[in-house]
Amino acid sequence: MKNLFSFLSDLKNNNNKEWFDANRGSYEQSKKTMETLVQQIIEKISQFDSSVSGTEARKAVFRINRDVRFSNNKEPYKTNMGGFIVPGGKNSGKAGYYLHIEPGACFLAGGVYCPEATVLKKVREEIIYNTSAFKQIIDNKSFIDVFGEIQGEKLKRPPKGFPENFSDMELLKYKSYTVVHQISDSKLQEDGFVDFATDVFKEMKPFNQFINSGIDHS
């Protein structure tokens, strides 16, 4: 794991193609370390969430190249590595389990981040139809202890097409439905990290399941 942190730290100070090409061996080794870790977590999650069974780490880990076409930041590479364990693959649009490794900014997260309008509408509808079930999940003490509250930007006004007199309108204003658990660099490098991450993701399962039940609703 130390090789991964070392590579990402060096990349942050040398974010250019020439340096990356000269250190491609270190990148490949770091990528392998990341995929091994993600595969171990997949196998653990599959024991309590069969929807991700069969997920391959190499398909769950995001590519390190940045899309700079529409960005003012033209640095070619991400300075982090992320893995998204989710039913149907990381481009399915569904809620899943995310691991983010970045020196000084590591975290575990889940849910759906900036989903497409049709998906966001389905999630909001599910919250209206099953408000008490959703509140039971996010108001649970153990859930709050691990994640706090839902993260992300919110609309200032009620979303269009939804009743403005809905009693829990604040729950519909989110643009993303995500939860986050920050972790230290040292925590991630501990021998028991896979089990720790598994416990965090297990606490997240009902939240993801609720969101995906809305997305799957026809």
The Cα 130–Cα 137 span in angstroms is: 11
Domain positions in the chain are 2-216
pLDDT band at 218, cuts 50/70/90? low
Reported CATH class of domain 2-216? alpha beta
Give the H or E element holding residue 98.
strand 96-101
Q: How far is CA 110 from CA 39, 56, 84, 107, in A?
A: 17, 18, 9, 10
Q: Enter the pTM of the model.
A: 0.93
Give the H or E element holding residue 111.
strand 106-112
Q: What is the predicted pLDDT for the residue at 88? A: 87
| Rg (the chain; Cα; Å) | 19
pLDDT tens column, 125-143: 999 999 999 999 999 999 9
